[in-house]
Chains A and B, each alone.
Chain A
Amino acid sequence: MIEGLYQQMKQSVLDGDYELAETLAKKALELGIDPLEAINNGYMPGVNEVGQLFSCGEMFLPELVQAGEAMKIAIAIFEPEMARRGSQRESLGKVVLGTVEGDIHEIGKTLVGTMLTANGFEVFDLGVDVSVSRLIEKALEVNADLIGASALLTTTMIKQKSLVDELKAEGLDKRFKVMVGGAPVTQEWAQRIGAHGYSEDAIGAVAVAKRLVGKAG
């Protein structure tokens, strides 16, 4: 019976069926199922599968985003009960993410955030036009593992360098890893500015992030 419920949860994620994901979460609560069990055995396998299918080109972006959304809705239902039990979801690491100051290109950064979330990272997406100081403040506030900075303009790539430099100046470069990306950004640029990681696309960003937080493989 529980197995059947978990299967339905997974399916609700695969189908991006928000209503069903919510109904099933409520049902699990009524049945007294531990929310963490439901997330890890029901919803997460769905998200993982969608992530994998997306990576090999078999699922599409809206399907990926809606799978993540369905899980988020379920988690929101579980939150009060999780707080009551004092239980917390395991995550691969915390990532503070943003498009750098002066740059409002949103989509690439959001995609990276979606893929990281789908693969088990906890992502704090600060949006676009985000200053170096806001990225660092947030990283300190949430005790992040990784700061991700996206830049789409050749004039704003320099802010990725400012981020690395500022972390060094504040003695935080050992504490927070930096990953950079965006259409004009290259491996060579990442190396030149001393960023810890670079990825050309959102799928690669997951592998890089895992490596940076020591969770590769």
Chain B
Amino acid sequence: MKLTAEILSRDEQQRIHDHSLRVLWEAGVQFHSLKALKLLAEAGATVDWETKIARIPEKLVIQTLETAPKSFVLGARNSSYDYPMPSPHTRYTMDGTSAFATDFETGERRYGTLKDLERGVRVFMAADMGVMCWPPCCASDAPDGSRPLHEFLTMLRFCSKHGNHELHHPNQVPYFVAALKAICGDDDAVRQRKIASVVYCPVAPLMHDAEMCDAYLDLGAYDVPILILPMPATGTTGPASLFSNIVQGNAEALSSIVLYQLARPGRPLIYGSASGSLDFASGGFLTGVPEMVLQTAAMAVMGRFYGLPNTATGCVSDAKATGIQAVIEKVITTLPAVLVSADLVSGIGEIETSQNLILEQVLIDNEIAHFCERLHQGVDTSPQKDLIEDIIHVGPGGNFLKARSTRVMARSDEFYIPQLAVRQSYENWLALGSPDMRDRAREKVREILNSPLVDPLPEVVSREIDEILREADKELSAEE
């Protein structure tokens, strides 16, 4: 059977849901978008226009959970990367939007650029466990008013897997939609293919900002999926117990679902979370800790409770450098999310609480993902794996190397063959210059960057996107 984890009993899930309903009704949720408040008021929420707090009744939650799709396909520019959700196995997103990147050549930590972003997503293309890309770093060299568009479109240009990012303002929406049309063909194809989605963080505790919210409401017309990612931290922006911080995060997620389903019933949503744990000694937001992943894995289970496709933050680290701390933190924050069968774990490639992109880390994390998957697959006792006849046939004192089954199993999913782990004999290893996993990852990264682009955009589409960005630079930077 599969190796799985149980993190919330059915009764505990129900309690979290019931508590969340109390929060939504008794405390309410603040929406800074007037559009959002109007939608909520018309649908039956009790709105205080002065404080902008909407008290959301249970019936709205039930109604909107019904219209939210229970499955859909996360499309990709190259359809062989399409990812149907929910999924029987866990796959990964790139970690997103660090301020810094570690220069692959010099090792210097500096502000990220469009070039770093391009390199990051090209390495992600080679990470076989990754299905959803996210601009791994911010582009400090892109113009301010149109920066998210540069980041979004550079990602879609260099990565043919599904792309997720954010828009900050409704004025960015037309350019983004124009680019999606250029890539997909027309409006209908944009709606159907769903090659890109947006990430939405409610503002903990229990608030929604105006501009991002309005931009995402506008994108509803194109059925652009939203990845909902509440991130309350235990003790600062959320209560100081895992259970209650889960309740608050769940209430924040539900309030987002209510809003976006009221605006466009049937719009695809992914239920996610990136809740944090407080470093009580410094106030820091910790991600690479058990208390973080216990929350996000539990919330992935809440996503399932509602029947929604889900994602959990994991494979993350607060370490300031690659190495022992980073790997320990990444493993412990991946495994629980995998063992509860989250559809997506977010995400790979960064350290320093998602503030530093390291190209080698993308491949190292991909390896962690494989190891965790193998654990999750557990001990398969199906007839194909039942080799009792071989035991009897070989008997005492023989060996199994000549058995047909050994040959077959060696190349089956029974044994994961690592891409990076070092397994040479000691002398051989010395002779090779004592490489470690990081050295091997570096070699692979260099190979990837020296190889031709995978799935480049057709020349005309690429030019059209250049034109859209030029226009956006002109118009949006002028508005700044």
Residues of A within 8 A of B (CB): 54, 57, 60-62, 102, 104, 106-108, 111, 154-155, 158, 183-184, 201-202
Contact = CB atoms under 8 A, between A and B. Distances in A.
Contact of A107 (B112, B280, B285, B355): B285
Contact of B280 (A62, A102, A104, A106): A62
Given A154-B140, A155-B138, A104 B209 contact: yes
Contact of B100 (A57, A61, A62, A184): A184
A184 B354 CA distance: 11
A106 B209 CA distance: 13
Nearest to A54: B281
A57 B99 contact: no
Contacts of A106: 237
Interface string B95-124: 000011000000000011000000000000
Interface of B: 99-100, 111-112, 138, 140, 144, 147-148, 168, 203, 209, 233, 235-237, 240, 278, 280-283, 285, 353, 355
Q: Tell which of A108, A184, A202 has the most Cβ of chain B within 10 Å.
A: A184
A201 B282 contact: yes
* Of listed A57, A107, A154, A183, residue having the most chain B CB within 10 A: A154
Nearest to B209: A104
Q: Which 3 A-B pairs have the closest CB atoms?
A: A184-B99, A60-B280, A154-B138
A155 B168 contact: yes
A154 B233 CA distance: 22
A55 to B, nearest CB: 10
A155 B280 contact: no
Given A54-B281, A61-B282, A158-B144, 9 more contacts: A60-B281, A61-B235, A107-B233, A107-B236, A154-B99, A154-B138, A154-B147, A155-B144, A183-B353
A107 B144 contact: no
Contacts of B235: 61-62
> Does more than half of chain B's interface fall in helix, strand or loop, or is it mixed?
loop
Contacts of A102: 168
Contacts of B285: 107
A165 to B, nearest CB: 14
A61 B147 contact: no
A61 B278 contact: yes
B283 A61 contact: yes
A183 to B, nearest CB: 6
Contact of B355 (A60, A62, A155, A183): A183
A106 B233 CA distance: 12
Contacts of B144: 155, 158
Nearest to B282: A201
22 contacts: A54-B281, A57-B281, A61-B236, A61-B281, A61-B282, A61-B283, A62-B235, A62-B240, A104-B203, A106-B237, A107-B283, A108-B283, A111-B283, A154-B99, A154-B111, A154-B112, A155-B144, A183-B99, A183-B355, A184-B111, A184-B138, A201-B282
Nearest to A63: B280
Nearest to B283: A111
Most chain A CB within 10 A, of B140, B240, B280, is at B280
Nearest to A202: B283
Contacts of A62: 235, 240, 280
Contact of A155 (B147, B240, B278): B147
A184 B285 CA distance: 14
A97 to B, nearest CB: 15
> Residue among A62, A158, A183 with the most chain B CB within 10 A?
A183
Given A106-B237, A107-B233, A184-B100, A61 B138 contact: no
A110 B24 CA distance: 26
A183 B100 CA distance: 10
Given A62-B280, A154-B140, A202-B283, A107 B237 contact: yes
A189 B190 CA distance: 40
A13 B215 CA distance: 46
A81 to B, nearest CB: 34
A57 B168 CA distance: 37
B418 to A, nearest CB: 34
A14 to B, nearest CB: 16
B355 A184 contact: yes
A62 B235 CA distance: 8
B293 to A, nearest CB: 21
A155 B137 CA distance: 12
Contacts of B353: 183
Nearest to A159: B144
A67 to B, nearest CB: 14
A183 B235 CA distance: 19
B168 to A, nearest CB: 7
Contacts of B281: 54, 57, 60-61
A153 to B, nearest CB: 8
User: Among A107, A111, A158, A201, which residue has the most Cβ atoms of chain B within 10 A?
Assistant: A107
Most buried by A among B144, B148, B283, B355: B283
Nearest to B281: A57
A108 B276 CA distance: 14
Contacts of B112: 154
A183 B356 CA distance: 11
Contacts of B237: 106-107
A39 B255 CA distance: 45
